[in-house]
């Protein structure tokens, strides 16, 4: 039995289990609504894949100029630094909503492989950064021959 609390928004003289279930359903619906989901605080969003010879990192960087990017590779650590500049509204226009963050960013990832920094290649096309990082020779898997 729920006690009567006049200050409570759920103040009732009798306990109503259906009211409690409705409240729980609304709370859960708000929690899992994709429109209300929190955005990731990590920018840029990245995918990393690897094979026996190289590691490929792709990152979403819409609106970033290649001149505003810096990629460094040291050992197994890769760092992407840059800046996404603010796009001013055209004359006579005003923004009603701005969800894309602007400013400086930095993202470092430690990979499970040592990389060869002298052979790293990077391209930025249609807002997608593609970084191909060959694995260091000492880190590549070796086939072992078996003798009898």
Secondary structure E strands in the chain:
46-50, 54-60, 69-74, 77-84, 103-110, 121-125, 128-134
pLDDT at 89: 81
pLDDT in tens, 48-82: 999 989 999 999 999 899 999 999 999 899 999 99
Mean pLDDT of the chain: 83
Which residues share a beta bridge with 49?
56
| pLDDT band at 10; cut points 50, 70, 90 | low
Given a contact cutoff of 8 angstroms between Cβ atoms, the answer to whether 80 and 124 are in contact is no
User: Average pLDDT in the 88-95 region?
Assistant: 85
Q: 1 pLDDT exceeds 50?
A: no
User: Average pLDDT in the 9-13 region?
Assistant: 54
**2.60.40.790, 1.10.1200.10, 1.20.120.450, 3.20.20.150: which CATH number matches 46-87+102-138?**
2.60.40.790
Q: 92 pLDDT exceeds 70?
A: yes
User: Average pLDDT in the 98-107 region?
Assistant: 86
Every domain of the chain and the residues it spans: 46-87+102-138
User: Average pLDDT in the 78-88 region?
Assistant: 90
pLDDT in tens, 107-141: 999 999 899 999 999 999 999 999 999 998 887 77
> Distance of CA 133 to CAs 7, 49, 51, 73, Å?
62, 10, 11, 9
């Amino acid at each position: 039995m729920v006690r009567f609390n006049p200050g409570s928004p759920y103040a009732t003289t009798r306990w109503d289990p259906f009211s409690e279930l409705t409240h729980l359903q609304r709370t859960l619906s708000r929690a899992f609504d994709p429109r209300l989901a929190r955005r990731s605080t990590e920018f840029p969003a990245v995918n990393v894949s690897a094979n026996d010879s190289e590691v490929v990192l792709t990152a979403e960087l819409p609106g970033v100029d290649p001149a505003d990017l810096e990629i460094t590779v040291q050992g197994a650590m890769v760092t992407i630094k840059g800046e996404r500049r603010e796009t001013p509204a055209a004359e006579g226009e005003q923004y009603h909503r701005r969800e894309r963050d602007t400013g400086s960013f930095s993202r470092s990832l430690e990979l499970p492989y040592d990389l060869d920094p002298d052979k790293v290649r990077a391209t930025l096309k249609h807002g997608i950064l593609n970084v191909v990082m060959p694995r260091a020779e000492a880190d590549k898997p070796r086939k072992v021959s078996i003798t009898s």
